[in-house]
Amino acid sequence: MLDAKIPQGPLEEKWNNYKAHAKLVNPANRKKLDIIVVGTGLAGSSVAASLGEMGYNVKSFCFQDSARRAHSVAAQGGVNACKNYKNDGDSVYRMFYDTIKGGDFRAREANVYRLAECSASLIDQAVAQGVPFGREYGGYLNNRSFGGVQVSRTFYARGQTGQQLLLGAYQALMRQVHQGHVKLYTRHEMLDLVVMDGKARGVIIRNMDTGAIERHSAHAVVLATGGFGKIYFLSTLAMGCNGSAIWRAHKKGALMANPSWTQIHPTSLPQSGEYQSKLTLMSESLRNDGRIWVPKTQDDQRPPNQIPEEERDYYLERRYPAFGNLSPRDIASRAAKERIDAGYGIGPLKNAVYLDFSRAIREQGEDKIREKYGNLFRMYEKITNVNAYTEPMRISPAAHFSMGGLWVDYELMTTIPGLYALGEANFADHGANRLGANSLLQASIDGYFIAPYTMANYLADEIKSGPIDIKHPAFEAAERAVKEQLQLLMAIQGKESTDYFHRKLGHILYDKCGLSRSAAGLQAAISDIRALRTEFYNNLHVPGGLGLNAELEKAGRVADYLELGELMCYDALTRNESCGAHFREEYQTQDGEALRNDKDFSFISAWAWTGNDQPPKLHMEPLHFEFVTPTVRSYK
């Protein structure tokens, strides 16, 4: 039985009760303890800065050439917090309920409530760091709405919220680097976790500039390495994003939770050809003022401005009148796919829908829309050569976010003692669907306000351990395995590139484990992925050598994806229901909505690695709802 370590007591008192009784490490002893943090996005930078400020010895690793290049910069639209500045009925409980409902009642109550409870403090923290949130004329912080809610709780810095929040965390991190509490290693990639006597004790790292393999030890390891949405190849994520750190930890004993719950974002720029390797995200904030529609006639060739109002189908407003264009991401994405598949798609490839601002511009004026979304409109015009002030945008669903990740308890510790997972690297807060503007929130909350408390509860007993010796046989074995894998990939010398295999895997997953799934499709996907993995190890070509070699790094990541992709399909196949982003075609209502099965599937799937080419083992963490009653998730 998995122990989530959820504190006793009323929901609103659990976190305070935990903090009141958790063990502490006094300031003199903190300098005796070493902590490794992998990743320098919002979660990684914030936790490294926080732990450094507290006096621990921290090593921080990232594969980018600067911590500022972490993918958190790409988040655009905002960060949620229940400040109730608009006086529209928001509260901690309202935000908690919106989040747990948005995740289709597949998340822990205690974790979700803590997320909402800590959200207000994050805004104060960010303002103190100088984050330039949007403000009203009188100087008060402004808010806007995001999908899945009926209040305004999203704080934003135009369309650059992630970048501005990361700059605040980066400054805090670099302050600790300057003071000597944090040692920062850029261009270093984690290739394996070292486990000694059942505890996480270090990592094996590849210096990406020299190819050298390094050993680093610590009393605890934090993985803040983001999600694995790039497994679909075409996604909104940067090309370097990957799931290797958490996958290597999974193979060392950390359970992987809900891996099939991956989010398809509804407002990406559509694919324009097979040459593409990335899609561009347009912020969900645009759905505040933009209206989504398709022509009522199939294969309509007219330019959008020549299609009269009565011949437009505003399908989200039609199907979900209570939430309309602000329906949650999973619902909006599936609705777009349904219209596209039915022949109503627009654009050269008929793979998009319109996002139209004409009414908002008429009612508010172009200057107001430019003030709110100007940088997004400029980005759109730069990419498409279309002026969205005069013509609707074209948008399409695209792979985006991983709700699944390493299983963690209330303390954010994995099933390996001493190994923590923060932000998108864990599964903890979003259930089967993440609401917009909760990603930046979770990453920041985990790093600033949760892990610095919960890690002390573990580290208090590690003071007597003394320094961790990197000459221990566990380090030697891990380093040897890493080198053997790199040499294996180099030795194949087949004919196909890494991207060839990655693209084929992405096609399999998007078609059979994407916006919709079926038992037959998932079984076929497992078979296809196994065949592709066999081809990979027989026909991969990696040019260059073991030194500076970006293709070798990609090959290692795709090798992990070929294993992770199979687990995603196993997870989706065993969950005979539809919930959130997991839409099984066999389980839907008469009008095509998700049909959840609380009686049989109200649990968290936690998978154990059993070995190469062996089926994974499923563990279940039952979900208990003491403070809310799961209901049919309706946005109509």
**AA identity, residue 28:** A
Q: What angle do CA 413, 68, 192 make, to 5 degrees?
A: 40
Q: Which two tokens stand for residue 534?
A: 């066999």
Biggest alpha carbon–alpha carbon distance for the chain: 75
C-alpha distances in angstroms, 407 versus 114, 251, 258?
Answer: 17, 13, 8
- The full 3-state SS of 180-220, as one line of letters, equals CCEEEECCEEEEEEEEECCEEEEEEEEECCCCCEEEEECCE
Which has the closest alpha carbon to 81: 368, 448, 377?
448
Helix, strand, coil % in the chain, rounded to nearest 5: 45, 15, 40
Cα separation, 625 vs 431, whole angstroms: 13
Helix 161-179 and helix 109-129, axial crossing angle in degrees, nearest 10: 80
Q: How many CB atoms lie within 10 A of CB 614?
A: 8
Which has the closest alpha carbon to 336: 303, 273, 292, 295?
292
Burial environment of residue 315 by CB neighbours within 10 A (0 to 12, 13 to 18, 19 or more): buried
**AA identity, residue 530:** R
Cα separation, 627 vs 112, whole angstroms: 12
Q: How would you classify the pairing of strands 154-155 and 182-185?
A: unpaired
Residues contacting 592, CB < 8 A, separation 6+: 338
Catalytic machinery residues: 329
Cα separation, 121 vs 169, whole angstroms: 15
Q: Where are the beta strands (DSSP E) in 218-348?
A: 220-223, 256-257, 262-268, 291-295, 312-313
Q: Which two tokens stand for residue 117?
A: 């409870």
Backbone angles phi, psi at 12, to 5 degrees: -75, -5
223 within 8 A of 203, measured Cβ to Cβ? no
Q: Which helix (H) or strand (E) holds 162?
A: helix 161-179
Which has the closest alpha carbon to 118: 465, 445, 555, 526?
445
C-alpha of 103 from chain center: 14
188 within 8 A of 138, measured Cβ to Cβ? no
Helices (H), ranges, 268-365: 315-319, 329-339, 358-364
Which has the closest alpha carbon to 271: 518, 510, 500, 585?
510
Cα separation, 439 vs 5, whole angstroms: 23
Q: The tokens 């200057």 sit on which residue? A: 367
Which has the closest alpha carbon to 103: 412, 576, 428, 588?
428
Half-sphere exposure of 421 (CA within 13 A, CB side): 30
C-alpha distances in angstroms, 413 versus 221, 265, 446, 480?
Answer: 10, 29, 12, 27
